[in-house]
């Protein structure tokens, strides 16, 4: 039962999903399965969240390295949960006044509290930190490029030339250099498209064969079954 039932579910769900493309009366399964999959994957997010809480709670309990920072993570998570989930039910409204309907919980718009409500924490903490973390990669990518782009071989030279032209073509000064905008467009439209197309065809065939193997129960590592 532990092995056979999941394989049967996988096969039936796969066949129904495949068949609905050719048998219109089965479209109900497509519509429902998409909504169901969204719900299940969303609930799966909670597993990650619980793991995160367990990890940091354990670090705090055992006084492991950097445990004080784990408290910050847990407090931030707790505050965002409360601010995001409870505002709609009026808890924060009673405390801080006016409430404006929003897409994710309601927004408190009065006074100092404004900097600490759900949406403003997202705007003032998550967005700046996320953007800065990704922008840090500019420094590391530049350092990696310095090491990788030494024109030692013909292939490395091609990589260097293509990257340089594309980078120049993406900045305002590149538009004033003769031929650079045209060369950038040509690289992106012709050789780049050709290579990407080859890769995409390979991916298409690979995905199809893997999907068939999964449906037929040949590939079952996703279930944690080793044989």
Classify the C-alpha dihedral 152-153-154-159 as positive or negative. Answer: negative
Across the strands, what pairs with 70? Answer: none
Is residue 171 part of the contact set for other proteins (CB under 8 A)?
A: yes
Q: How many residues bind other proteins (CB under 8 A)?
A: 130
Query: What ranges make up the beta strands (E) of the chain?
Result: 99-100, 107-108
DSSP three-state, residue 100: strand
Tokens of 26: 């089965």
Q: What phi, psi does 152 have (nearest 5°)?
A: -85, -35
Is residue 173 part of the contact set for other proteins (CB under 8 A)?
A: no
Is residue 197 part of the contact set for other proteins (CB under 8 A)?
A: yes
What's the min distance (Å) between Cβ of 208 and other proteins?
5
Q: Are 57 and 64 in contact, with CB atoms under 8 Å apart? A: no
Is residue 66 part of the contact set for other proteins (CB under 8 A)?
A: yes
Is residue 177 part of the contact set for other proteins (CB under 8 A)?
A: no
Q: Which of 27, 91, 177, 202 is in the footprint of other proteins by CB under 8 A?
A: 202
72 or 94, CB closer to other proteins? Answer: 72
Is residue 64 part of the contact set for other proteins (CB under 8 A)?
A: no
Is residue 2 part of the contact set for other proteins (CB under 8 A)?
A: yes
Scan residues 93-112 and list those touching other proteins (CB under 8 A): 103-105, 110-112
Classify the C-alpha dihedral 71-72-75-76 as positive or negative. Answer: negative
Scan residues 68-87 and list those touching other proteins (CB under 8 A): 69-70, 72-81, 83-85
Q: Which of 124, 150, 175, 177 is in the footprint of other proteins by CB under 8 A?
A: 124
Scan residues 24-63 and list those touching other proteins (CB under 8 A): 30, 32-33, 35-50, 52
Q: What phi, psi does 99 have (nearest 5°)?
A: -130, 130
Q: Which of 57, 60, 166, 181 is in the footprint of other proteins by CB under 8 A?
A: 166
Q: Are 175 and 167 in contact, with CB atoms under 8 Å apart? A: no
Q: Which of 64, 129, 151, 177 is in the footprint of other proteins by CB under 8 A?
A: 129
Classify the C-alpha dihedral 193-194-196-201 as positive or negative. Answer: positive
């Amino acid at each position: 039962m532990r092995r056979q039932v999941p394989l049967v579910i996988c096969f039936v769900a796969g066949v129904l999903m495949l068949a609905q493309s050719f048998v219109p009366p089965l479209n109900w399964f497509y519509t429902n399965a998409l909504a169901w999959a969204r719900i299940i994957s969303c609930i799966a997010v909670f597993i990650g969240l619980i793991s995160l809480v367990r990890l940091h709670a354990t670090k705090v309990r055992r006084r492991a390295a950097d445990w004080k920072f784990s408290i910050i993570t847990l407090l931030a998570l707790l505050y965002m949960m409360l601010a995001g989930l409870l505002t709609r039910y009026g808890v924060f409204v009673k405390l801080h006044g006016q409430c404006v309907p929003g897409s994710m919980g309601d927004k408190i718009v009065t006074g100092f509290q404004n900097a600490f409500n759900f949406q403003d924490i997202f705007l003032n903490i998550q967005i700046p930190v996320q953007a800065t973390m990704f922008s840090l990669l500019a420094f590391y990518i530049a350092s990696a490029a310095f090491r990788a782009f030494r024109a030692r071989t013909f292939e490395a030279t091609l990589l260097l030339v293509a990257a340089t032209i594309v980078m120049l073509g993406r900045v305002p000064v590149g538009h004033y250099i003769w031929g650079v905008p045209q060369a950038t467009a040509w690289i992106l439209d012709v050789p780049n498209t050709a290579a990407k197309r080859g890769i995409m065809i390979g991916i298409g065939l690979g995905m199809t064969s893997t999907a068939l193997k999964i449906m037929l129960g040949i590939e079952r590592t996703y279930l944690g079954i080793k044989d």
